[in-house]
Amino acid sequence: MERFADISEGEKSQARNKNGLFSFPLFPVLCPVGTFLAKDTGECTMCEEGFFQDLEGQEHCARCAEGFTSQVGAYMRDMCE
């Protein structure tokens, strides 16, 4: 996993919400195709096997059609075979 939204400790302390948890992202994170932005970590995470993402900046991956699967990080629907 690659961290696209590196945040300094000072920024983290300012980002705490009322529950003491961090709110991500502090600035827009545009995750590339084949990945999604994991809300709990603020990191771009590769789509799991059986999923794909053909758009940038998404918060989840799309599931391949029933009976089809894909490799990790699939970035096109056609990668579901």
Task: Say yes or no to pLDDT of 59 above 60.
Answer: yes
Task: Say yes or no to pLDDT of 34 above 50.
Answer: yes
Task: Say yes or no to pLDDT of 58 above 90.
Answer: yes
What total number of domains does the chain contain?
Answer: 1
Is residue 60 a part of any domain in this protein? yes
Is residue 46 a part of any domain in this protein? yes
Is residue 7 a part of any domain in this protein? no
Give pLDDT, residue 26.
Answer: 55
Give pLDDT, residue 39.
Answer: 87
Domain of residue 50 covers 29-81
Predicted TM-score (pTM) of the model is 0.66
Q: Which two tokens stand for residue 23?
A: 């709110």
Is residue 23 a part of any domain in this protein? no
CATH number, domain at 35? 2.10.50
Measured between alpha carbons, how far is 64 from 77 in angstroms, rounded to an integer? Answer: 7
Is residue 55 a part of any domain in this protein? yes
Is residue 39 a part of any domain in this protein? yes
Task: Say yes or no to pLDDT of 48 above 80.
Answer: yes
Is residue 3 a part of any domain in this protein? no
Measured between alpha carbons, how far is 40 from 27 in angstroms, rounded to an integer? Answer: 15
Mean pLDDT of the region 70-76: 98
Is residue 24 a part of any domain in this protein? no
Q: Which two tokens stand for residue 39?
A: 């809300």
Give pLDDT, residue 61.
Answer: 98
Task: Say yes or no to pLDDT of 27 above 70.
Answer: no
